[in-house]
Amino acid sequence: MAQKHSHAAGKKGGAWKILLVLVVLLALAAGAALLFARSEINGRTTDAEPVTVSIQQGSGVSAIAQKLKDAGVIRSTYLFRWYVGQKGTAAKLQYGDFALTPGTGYDDLITALSTYAKAETVRVTIPEGTTAIAIAQKMEAAGLCSAEDFLKEANEGDFSEYTFWQYVPDDADAPDRFMKCEGYLFPETYEFLKDDTVHNYVATFYAQFDAQITDEMYAELKKQDMTLPQLITLASFVQEEAGNSQDSNVAQVFRNRLAADSPYPRLQSNTSSYIQSDSDNNYLWNWVAPYYGGWDNIPENIVAAYDTYSCKGLPAGPISNPGIAAIKAALAPQPNEEAKDAYFFVTDLKGSYYYARTLSEHSANCQKAAQVNKTVNTEK
């Protein structure tokens, strides 16, 4: 019995020794982590020369932290993000080219990054409703990059750091869509750093788009059982057909047509159809056809997916890059009584909108609009 007791006591003693060693190791690890954090935040002495870090317009704290780590200025992106959050200085951080020394303390880094950096920039204004191809052409005209490189990166690059990107299907899952980037290059006036990368130029557009779509909007999409691509596609038609005080009314007409019990399940919008006249802003004719070298060269599945007179429901993708007003109207329209139950609308050259529930009412409105147009043309 004495031997068993001694053996048990030996086991207990061994367990306590192991526990003590673990406690010591944890204490050492905690101490090392504390020393690392302190030296990282307060700064450390190095022989390193200053490096240039380029921060693009619209960069968030996470993107800035990654840039700093990639340049060797900081060692922990998590610690930097946490510290900026604790200080409440995220909104003060600027974009531009910064000369920063590796090992600099976080307070000094924040001060440097909060000072506007003089850098050679190019201003580019993108109006609401501009197509992806037109945006690429503007970037090329501004001397920033070629249109071809811009579109390639916008369609094929990895932008998974942005929330919206996870909701935009890849080409393999959307074979009838014309361009993946269409609809998500947010229209705005930008100051682009000259000689920046094509990826960063595209990311600036996507970051701005990502900032527009709030958690509340995602919740509303889920409530309506609507996808983000569906919302932006609808918004692009609202933008092209209105883009003014009539956004909600036009959005409601389209939503009425898209309803499950609609007697008119096609959008029938001249902004994307086989119908073409010189006065029309027609996505298929003005942008898709030239891209493929002519109407007859457009793949049949693309024509079928974007001709709103033949395809039921929404087309395969957006037809332009809408502004936030059109997006909000498409998500939650606030129509007036005239448009609330309408399935048709027509406009005249004076900018008036006529709404109708029946085809006969619409035909009468078309005659009214034609008469106004005749008067306007006579006055020219």
Nearest C-alpha neighbor of 203 from the set 56, 94, 68: 56
Distance of alpha carbon 150 from alpha carbon 152, whole angstroms: 6
**What does DSSP assign to residue 130?**
B
Helix (H) or strand (E) holding 376: helix 359-379
List the domains of the chain with CATH numbers.
51-113 (3.30.1490.480), 121-212 (no CATH), 224-379 (no CATH)
CA 262 to chain centre: 31
Nearest C-alpha neighbor of 341 from the set 232, 239, 264: 264
Nearest C-alpha neighbor of 312 from the set 263, 241, 251, 253: 263
Nearest C-alpha neighbor of 226 from the set 128, 327, 158, 305: 327
Quick: pLDDT tens for 195-241.
Answer: 889 999 999 999 999 999 999 999 999 999 999 999 999 999 999 99
Kindly write down the DSSP assignment for every residue of 209-232, as one continuous string.
HHHHS-HHHHHHHHHHT--HHHHH
Kindly write down the DSSP assignment for every residue of 295-358, as one continuous string.
GGGS-HHHHHHH-TTTS-BS-SS-SSB--HHHHHHHHS----HHHHT-SEEEE-TT--EEEESS
pTM above 0.85, yes or no: no
Quick: pLDDT tens for 102-161.
Answer: 999 999 999 999 887 666 889 999 999 999 999 999 999 999 999 999 999 999 999 999
